[in-house]
Amino acid sequence: MAWFLDLFRLIADPNRLVDQRKLGLLLHDCIQVPRQLGEVAAFGGSNIEPSVRSCFEKAGKDKTSIEVNIIYAQ
């Protein structure tokens, strides 16, 4: 799972924060391999917006960015 944390560190700012745009772009890029293999439906489809929204809702209502560690706390 360390590789997963490394991905978030790549997109995080110096304060280890990730905004919705950066998270959305990361998820969009990650879904490209299953899309090319015709397996995107097995991963919930290609619409990443609900996943991004869910992450930020779990972090708190008024969050504009999430700390990288939040993803592993829940």
pTM here is 0.74
Q: What is the CATH number of the domain that holds 35?
A: 1.10.238.10
* Beta-ladder partners of 17: 67
Residues 6+ apart with CB under 8 A from 18: 8, 11, 12, 65, 66, 67, 68
CA neighbor of 7 nearest in space, from 25, 20, 21, 34: 25
> Which residue's entry shows tokens 């700390």?
67
As for how many domains the chain has, the answer is: 1
pLDDT digits (tens, 9 = 90+) for 3-54: 777 888 888 988 888 999 998 998 888 888 888 898 888 877 888 888 888 8
- In this prediction, residue 3 carries a pLDDT of 73
Kindly state the tokens that stand for 39. Answer: 């397996």
- In this prediction, residue 22 carries a pLDDT of 92
> Has residue 69 got a pLDDT over 70?
no
The residue segments making up the domain with residue 18 are: 2-73
